[in-house]
Chain A
Amino acid sequence: MTPLLSIRDLSVGFGRDPKANEVVKGVSFDLAAGETLAIVGESGSGKSVTALSINRLVDFGGGRITGGSIALQRSDGSILDVTKADESALVRVRGSDIGMIFQEPMTSLNPVHTVGAQIEEAFRLNRGLNGAAATHAAKEALERVRIPDAAQRLKYYPHQLSGGMRQRVMIAMVIASNPRLLIADEPTTALDVTVQAQIMALLAELRSELGMSMIFITHDIGLVAGIADQIMVMQNGVAVEQGALDAVLDNPQHDYTRHLLKAVPHFNGGRAVRSDGSRVAGATPVVTVDNLVVRFPAARGVFARSAGAVHAVDGVSFDLVPGETLAIVGESGSGKSTTARAILGLVGTTRGRIDKASGRSPRPVQMVFQDPFASLNPRLNVEGLLAEPAIAAGERRDAKLRERMTFLLTRVGLPEDALTRYPHQFSGGQRQRLCIARALMLNPEVVVLDEAVSALDVSVQARVLDLLIDLQREFGLAYLFISHDMAVVERIAHRIAVMYAGQLVEIGAAASVLSDPQHSYTKRLIAAVPAIERRKQVFMVDGTQVPSLVRPNGYEPPTAQWRDAGPDHRVRLETI
């Protein structure tokens, strides 16, 4: 039987001389109808470029196919060599034969058109539906991806929907044309783990319902285990290993595959938590948060009045002792970042107390942000960047300060001569090391790490985590570690606080919370973590919505009731 897709020796280059700047070098694979191939690799491995070459969207990003062939079997049985097709033939292939979903649901939908209009367009382009028929089809598509109140949601603009909802809209758009091949380019990377599980379940369900083939691109080898039949591992534009899923995962042949499998943080359900530096009873906390409340006015557009308040953080209390890592986990919008920002004084608090130790540093709390590319000023060199916190604290830029800079640079594993270089001369992992060095300039007691390793490739991530643990021991730092990644949290946290819809729902020792979760949300969160061990796990699609955080003005939530679930493990009682 002819495969649906057959790629031979595909090479793709960029720039004025694509031959000289190839990022994909001789990739070959076959994909049968109904089969799923996972392409796994780190950033820059060429996995996305390979995928974008299949429908030739790579042309619009400045790429050129420099060699090889891509034979696609169309629905009428004819074979099209995509590498030689002209643009008008490609327009007919896109959408109707090959559908695609992308990584960033936030930016992948057009902000000026309603989601209804965008789904209808897919029906119009690929099925020739117009007017009421298109609207009806769009509504059905939204229902199929389990969006509640579909008829209403059609009139929404993308910015009014959450990330998970937008990704569902993307999927609705793709299934509109009933494509034979779906390319999913990191479709869940930007999503919370519970939402990720939902999207994965949805994709698996639609795949079997529609008999689609799928190419699933990811950096997360653990995620692949649940969905793929075949796997292809890419590094530097070359497929270093490819084969059936079980063969590759259980018996990896190539060093890089073994490295990836080792580097990817495995979630062990609380059995792999840290054993060092656990909490000393009676230690004086460096940060105490007592009944913190942060609310924002809910403004509703140019012409409307205030419609109440967003209860971003509602009655959160915890403390943090020296040398300890408290991880705050929860999905986006749960209030974990707002809590951190309130501790730093970056957002105003509505109520509650935040006490910070003022022992060894005038600025005891420092922060490292998620995106190492956006959080370093590109016009300052490293010396200027590191001097910034000291200048802000009123220190002089003298030899002593320089000495501290070079000391910290060596500690975070960067060369001393880095001082005169600029951010763009460093890789993502190196930049995050710079951010860490910058946070340590004022010898703080607490470092807030807001998704500080989330943007890094797995192997880089592992090294940065090791560095953080070393620094914590050396300087007696307390970490407030905000993350959505349970495997990472398991590696670094001593204690874990779980937030849901602005409230703390569970807090306690990491081993206890991870191995014996009590609150229903914590249970869902942990069940959703993908793992190589839980292969071919089937997630149920459910439509559970996060409750709205917008409350009428003057609303006060009922007082929280707590119960003890262990020596250091408290759970909020759930109200029905």
Chain B
Amino acid sequence: MNYLVQRLLTFPLVLLGVSLLVFFAIRLVPGDAIIAMLGTEAGLLTDAQRASLAAYFGLDQPVVIQYGRWLTGLFQGNLGISTTYGKPVLEVIIARFPLTIELALLSMVIALAVGVPAGVFAATRADRPSDLVVRLFAMLGQSTPSFVVGLVLIYLLSVNFHILPAMGSFTPLFVDPLGNLAQMILPSMTLGLAFAAAVTRIARSSMLDVLSEDYVRTARSKGASQRDVVWRHALPNALIPVVTLSGVEFGYLLGGAVIVEQIYALPGLGRLTLDAISQRDYALVQGAVLFIAFNFLVVNLLVDLAYAALDPRIRLGGK
């Protein structure tokens, strides 16, 4: 059967598993949506009022019935109503998604633009001082927590030199593209540099492997220059592990980046989900987790298609 169709058919199964898990797991967390929603005022409610609120949100039913209802709604494109926002869950998520996807894309662009050349550079100078310097930076980039990088970047670029805005209310991309980009540079760099460090390390080791392959020797024996050997013969073969890593990282980023969103006061998916958990906003948590899982599946599929694009052995089949 067609590979693509096969993959798409697994989507509903995975999503069903994820939905089961999150639905029951969130209900294991102690606390109550109504108390969380009303805060201290919850104490003022009469039992009858509580009951009618619970009935309104469907929380009075047995958990299995609740799940069944939610699932039925899901098939009709209805993820339920967020108790925190009083709006449909899908609407709340969609409102936050452009920011998250923009942040993830920008970070990945930075990561690949910095990481791949740095990795290639280090690999072609293996064990020389310049390689050691690149490796040191990669190690630092990976081991420094993002809040440290974030705060240092804010301090340097915003507070000290006033190059970029630090805080302020968020400007959406379609309202003011330049203002938005200025706001997004710092958070993208914070995420992208750590990501770039990982890309550098994997690109370096993958390049080193490929450079010792027989076909690289063949290319040299034909009289190919070092530049041709590295960029034309070695790099396309060395990219597969980079694509794997980028796919996984990108998938995570689409789930939101809680710490970076917090530092830069960005309304992304990460903070949305975190708040929903602390508010016991069951419908929103379920919807957000399902959405994140769906994104992961799509990204994984794209990664597989990227393999096929890079490697004719996967594209055309055979040994």
Contact = CB atoms under 8 A, between A and B. Distances in A.
B2 A303 contact: yes
A357 B25 CA distance: 57
A2 interface: no
Ordered nearest first, which 7 A-B pairs have the shortest CB separation? A95-B223, A301-B317, A100-B221, A107-B214, A157-B312, A110-B215, A94-B223
Interface in B210-234: 211-226, 228, 232-233
A111 B313 contact: yes
B223 A126 contact: yes
Contacts of A95: 221-224
A104 B222 CA distance: 16
Given A111-B215, A112-B236, 7 more contacts: A108-B214, A121-B232, A157-B312, A160-B318, A302-B314, A303-B3, A305-B1
Contact of B311 (A55, A102, A112, A304): A112
A418 B197 CA distance: 45
B223 A91 contact: yes
A257 B217 CA distance: 31
B313 A157 contact: yes
A57 interface: yes
Contacts of A126: 222-223
A60 interface: yes
Interface string B92-116: 0000000000000000000000000
Contact of A302 (B228, B232, B315): B315
A302 B308 contact: yes
Nearest to A173: B222
Interface in B228-273: 228, 232-233, 236-237
A119 B124 CA distance: 25
A109 B214 CA distance: 8
B217 A108 contact: yes
Nearest to A112: B236
B213 A177 contact: no
Interface residues of B, number: 36
B237 A111 contact: yes
A99 interface: yes
Interface in A299-332: 299-305
B316 interface: yes
A55 B225 CA distance: 14
A125 B223 contact: yes
A497 to B, nearest CB: 25
A55 B314 CA distance: 34
B71 interface: no
A146 B255 CA distance: 56
A93 B236 CA distance: 26
A134 to B, nearest CB: 13
Given A91-B225, A302-B308, A109 B218 contact: yes
A440 to B, nearest CB: 32
A112 B310 contact: yes
B128 interface: no
Contacts of B64: none
Contacts of A121: 219, 222, 224, 228, 232
Interface in A69-112: 87, 91-96, 98-100, 102, 104, 107-112
Interface in A157-215: 157, 159-160, 170, 173, 177
Contacts of B212: 61
A430 B2 CA distance: 48
A165 B221 CA distance: 19
Contacts of A107: 213-215
A59 to B, nearest CB: 9
Interface of B: 1-4, 211-226, 228, 232-233, 236-237, 308, 310-319
Contact of A125 (B217, B222, B233, B317): B222
Nearest to B234: A110
Contacts of A305: 1-2
A92 B3 contact: no
B308 to A, nearest CB: 5
Contact of A300 (B225, B226, B237, B317): B317
B222 A301 contact: no
A122 interface: yes
Interface in A546-576: none
A110 B237 contact: yes
Interface of A: 55, 57, 60-61, 87, 91-96, 98-100, 102, 104, 107-114, 121-122, 125-126, 157, 159-160, 170, 173, 177, 299-305
Contacts of B224: 91, 95, 121, 125
B218 to A, nearest CB: 5
A334 to B, nearest CB: 16
B217 A110 contact: no
Nearest to B223: A95
A98 B220 CA distance: 11
Contact of A111 (B1, B3, B228, B312): B312
Contacts of B213: 107
7 contacts: A94-B221, A108-B214, A110-B237, A112-B311, A121-B228, A303-B4, A305-B1
Most buried by A among B1, B4, B218: B218
A49 B236 CA distance: 28
A177 B312 contact: no
Contacts of B4: 302-303
B284 to A, nearest CB: 37
Contact of B237 (A55, A60, A112): A112
A301 to B, nearest CB: 4
Given A100-B221, A108-B214, A112-B237, A159 B318 contact: yes
Contacts of A170: 218
A92 B223 contact: yes
A99 B220 CA distance: 10
Contacts of B226: 87, 91
Nearest to B1: A305
Contacts of A100: 218, 221
A110 B233 contact: yes
B223 A159 contact: no
A110 B223 contact: no
Nearest to B317: A301
B318 A102 contact: no
Nearest to A114: B312
Given A107-B213, A111-B312, A159 B221 contact: no
B278 to A, nearest CB: 44
A126 B310 CA distance: 27
B2 A102 contact: no
B9 to A, nearest CB: 15
Contacts of A113: 232-233, 236
A304 B213 CA distance: 30
Nearest to A52: B217
